Structure 1
């Protein structure tokens, strides 16, 4: 058993034995309250030791304050006061604040540590925390809330945690319409694909017409056809070839623009001031 636990047990035993001495008489409720207070002091001391050993210094501090009060036995009170002084020397304290992007201090910032809101009047005085990792939220409308992960270290005193808050962007009034429209980067590929389809249809139309007229001339006049009739068929084939080329080029361009990766969008990150800049 730890020395402190032995001490607490010994004190409790001494206090109990006093009331159990033969011939001793309890003076009613007054002695009962005294015995209850002594037991409470010993229990607070023992519990505080356990919490301090598990680095739960905030809870341990409250219990040390309980067993260090005047109503406790001198032995318990003296040991509690000594442990409390040692705990306050080890417990880290942090100072919280916020600034805007121009470096101006912001007042009335709401700070929450591990889900528990802090007293705004004490943010600049040094807030005692348990050693270890903590999640700290900074909130001040109309600025965007900011989350910081902070590691508090044993013996660290009045460490400044100052963040930069950015104004929250206002929602767009035409948000619904923007989502319904296709992204601007897809408009050109869609247009080229439509042009390619139209050119392909034109190629098919002129090609079929030229082929049909060519067969008709072969059946009707063969080598005796007039130059004008032959030119009409030739022009239809030329138009079909041109439209085929247009269809292939625009189709290839549409496929390239649709499949290429979009350039990354710029990401804005808030810059936290370094401790040397504070």
Structure 2
């Protein structure tokens, strides 16, 4: 009896312990599964290193979208600190350089359409248009716009690195076939306007005659003439002074050397005078006979053309007889020659006769 009572006493305790044990086993199993999932979710060192290397190559190739995904993977806190220290700043640089576009589509009537799928180089960019900016890799890209109804449109667009929120608008479809074409107004025939008489061309201003240039030999001859006159003046003054001194002191018994020196001075003065006169005369002759500069021809006065009058093909225009000019019984007076046509040019020529020299000519 005692054993039976003990059996009945332990039976409720066992019944109560079974649910508790089941709950404990279930909780332990859930914790182990969560821990295993967390371990599998964490990136391994090998995955972080692969993402680190892949991000650098993608940045060099200009594939910034894929590079951004790789940098996000290698900048996780579970990755090695060295990889996180590099991937974090690189991710900021890629976000700054990644361009974006804002796509808009309109139909032929100008109404905006949203049921358009956008693909870039065959890769889906947007299923529908919502006005938001869409990131795109830089470079020459092919945009394909596929509306829900209608024909697709493709456009090649150059996307620049760092360009944000670039607007791209495309027109889909063609104008409706039943729309009436705008009628153009009939062009009225041009009215016949009388031909305006051409204006008389104003006469060109008369060209002023150019001053003839002085020959270089005239300057040379003039310089030689001035030098000769200077020798004449200096030598003559010295010889006269010496001659007056001799007359006052030793005349008529002066030394032969002193007299000879005075004669040499006299001769030098005479030669200087002759050379000066001849040179100056030559310079004057070269100046007066220098060739005149070419003059530009004077254009004749422009005649104003008379407007042509229309003639009827049936009746030719009658010509009015013009009376002949009455002949004068007196012969016409001879015309005076033009100024300068037959004018005589001055003629100069130097001469030397014994101790005398000079210039002779006609004017």
Which TM class, normalised by the smaller chain length?
A: 0.3 to 0.5
Higher helix share: 1
- Normalised by the length of structure 1, the TM-score is 0.46
- Normalised by the length of structure 2, the TM-score is 0.35
